[in-house]
Amino acid sequence: MEAIRSEEIKNRRGEGTGAALSLMKLEPAALRGEIRAVTSKSMAHRSLICAALGDRVTELTITDLSVDIAATAECLRSMGAKIERQDGSYRVTPLWDNAVPQPLLNCRESGSTLRFLLPVAAAVCGGARFTGEGRLPRRPMDPLIRVMREHGVEFMGPQQTMAARRTQGPQDILPLDISREMKPGVYNIEGNISSQYISGLLFALPLLPGESRIRLLSPMESSAYVDMTLETLAQYGIRVEKTGDGFLVPGGQTYRSAGPMEVEGDWSNAAFFLAAGAVGAAGGVAVTGLNLNSAQGDMEILKILERFGAEVTADRAAGSVTIRPGAMTGTEIDVSQIPDLMPVLAVTACRALGPTVFCNAGRLRLKESDRIASTAALIRSLGGRAEEGEDSLTVYGNGALRGGRADSFGDHRIAMSAAVAALFCQEAVLLSHPEAVEKSYPNFFRDYVKSGGKADVV
């Protein structure tokens, strides 16, 4: 067994060797000190897309390159944008002078990339071929495809003949070809399946020649993610009006660059270190580089940790938060607006005393893993007790976990949650496929070790 080094996770997988880590030993420890938040993955997706659709070159400060952000950048390059990375920033030259008709867009495993760019490619390139990896081809897209089809876009699986299409219907799974430009109009779409559908339409509809409306057929979940989209659109001069049942989007608009921009810190990934402060030693953990006025919904982690009983100290001016443990007790958490937080909050619930109920969690079954099942499996594998419902999870906390062998299920948020759990286990945790963290936070284990965590590659 060799000790983990600063760039161990990234280098093992990313330097052409084809090798991937398979097992990591995580030992009980107490994190302490200060961690700087990585760039928000969600905001980076949005900023890259808007810059690529802009009217001039934009410099974006994005200090951390994850697999998902790289997927969006590469797809935008394939569409005709020029994106150069230099010293923690991206120089983005808009795609308009070099727009590629029918580009091949490999979204890898990034749902954001696929769902954002599906409407954009229809509006800008007149179509494209989309491919993906992992669970992405099986993740749902039907509501977005249906509403785009209603507005002139054709969808066809690349191997499907016209005769098969007439008898079997179109194939709506990846790989997928789209053709014909999208038309303006009224887009009736469900709001409770994926906010990414709404964001994708919001990026594309301003480019169409006429006015469009998005009419939500059900209440919108993860609404903060749409607020993040609206905030980024406004930064690029795009007007969108909220209505009683959705959004009004004037057509014929131009994305206008506001000049150099720094993408804010990521509350979703900061949540792992904030939770580590709640479950660990009295010294606590501080996370800096955060916007405490952010539209990111996962800033809700602060209120939830307080409800558990942790001590939360926020410095709005400095953009920093310190979390210290307290007398932790179970609570009830509605995760409909904050689905990405459930795995790490479920681990936190094991540190508390009494049951914690996570409700309105059904969409978590459609993530990189079935996160209700994989979170429950993680807790059970470490000696805890968790019970699944169709759209809920109940964790029965007793203040500690035993430890043992845990599966990340190839899911970055399960892998990082396991690392938080290891801090208060009685024995070591052997985690399979820790390299899953590359999807959103490639240097997670570097920062974890730097803060006092114990992680060794087996």
Query: Which letter, b or e, does each residue of 297-327 get, where b requires 16 or more Cβ atoms within 10 Å of its Cβ?
Result: bbbbbbebbebbbbebeeeeeebbbbbbbbe
| Tokens 């759209």 sit on residue | 391
**Strand-strand pairing, 429-432 and 332-334:** unpaired
Task: Tell me whether residue 340 is one of the annotated catalytic residues.
Answer: yes
Phi-psi region of 435 (alpha: psi -120 to 50; beta: other; left: phi over 0): alpha
CA distances (Å), origin 388, targets 78, 154, 331, 346: 42, 39, 16, 12
Query: Which letter, b or e, does each residue of 242-264 get, where b requires 16 or more Cβ atoms within 10 Å of its Cβ?
Result: eeeebbebbeebebebeeebebb
The catalytic residue among 68, 266, 340, 411 is 340
Q: What spatial distance separates the first Cα and last Cα of the chain, rounded to whole Å?
A: 5
Token representation of residue 185: 């109009």
Q: How far apart are CA 409 and CA 434, in angstroms?
A: 9
CA angle at 146 for the pair 109 and 150, rounded to the nearest 5°: 135
Question: Which residues 6+ apart lie within 8 Å of 34 measured at CB?
Answer: 285, 286, 287, 288, 320
- CB 49, CB 76: distance < 8 Å: yes
Token representation of residue 18: 């084809």
Q: For residue 63, give the amino acid letter.
A: T
- CB 44, CB 69: distance < 8 Å: yes
Catalytic residues: 340
